[in-house]
Amino acid sequence: MNKVDVLQIGQHSMWFDPETKFHHIIHVGVMNGVEMKTVADWTADTQRKYHPDEPPFQLVDNRSSTGFTSDARPALANHPLARTEVYAAMFGASLVVRTFINLIYRGLALATRSKSITKAFVTEADARTWLSEQQGVIRRRRAGSVA
């Protein structure tokens, strides 16, 4: 795996893999609003830099996540990235955290009319498979072979 644009924010780590075009995010502990905005800024910047013709594909490791502060959701909802197409595959979170993630992102989709799709998976392999499938759909659609 090739890592570029590595960023550490608090306990959280991020890097971009130009081979898979995945934005890797390791969420550790609680993520606050400033950290959430930083993740969104970094995702948007690396997307523009490395693959401007495709949406971001986030692979989020939540094995050590314990949730978000109350200012995290508004920080993401108010970010321009929230109104664009983003595919996020999260894995490793407990049932409670997965439920909370689903609530956050469903509410965000309603509030911002987001085109983003966020799915929670138990395993990293399942998350990677889904992201790769989404990349294929996007590429075929852009090539004109999928409606």
pLDDT in tens, 110-143: 665 666 788 889 899 999 999 999 999 998 988 8
Q: In this structure, is residue 18 part of a structural domain?
A: no
Whole-number pLDDT of residue 17: 96
The total number of structural domains in the chain stands at 1
Q: In this structure, is residue 127 part of a structural domain?
A: no
Band of the pLDDT at 42, cuts 50, 70, 90? very high
Whole-number pLDDT of residue 113: 62
- Are 17 and 34 in contact by the 8 Å Cβ rule? The answer is no
Q: In this structure, is residue 61 part of a structural domain?
A: no
Q: Which residue has the higher pLDDT, 80 or 17?
A: 17
pTM score over 0.95: no
Q: Is the pLDDT of residue 64 over 70?
A: yes
Band of the pLDDT at 107, cuts 50, 70, 90? low
Report the first-to-last Cα separation within the chain, whole angstroms: 32
Q: In this structure, is residue 53 part of a structural domain?
A: no
Q: Pick the closest to residue 62 from 24, 22, 111, 35 (CA basis).
A: 24
Q: In this structure, is residue 22 part of a structural domain?
A: no
Both structure tokens of 141: 């659609």
Domain containing 74: what range? Answer: 70-87+104-111
The average confidence (pLDDT) of the chain is 87
Q: In this structure, is residue 81 part of a structural domain?
A: yes
Q: In this structure, is residue 141 part of a structural domain?
A: no
- Using one digit for the tens of pLDDT, what is the confidence trace for 79-99? 888 778 899 999 998 777 767
Q: Which amino acid is at 36?
A: M
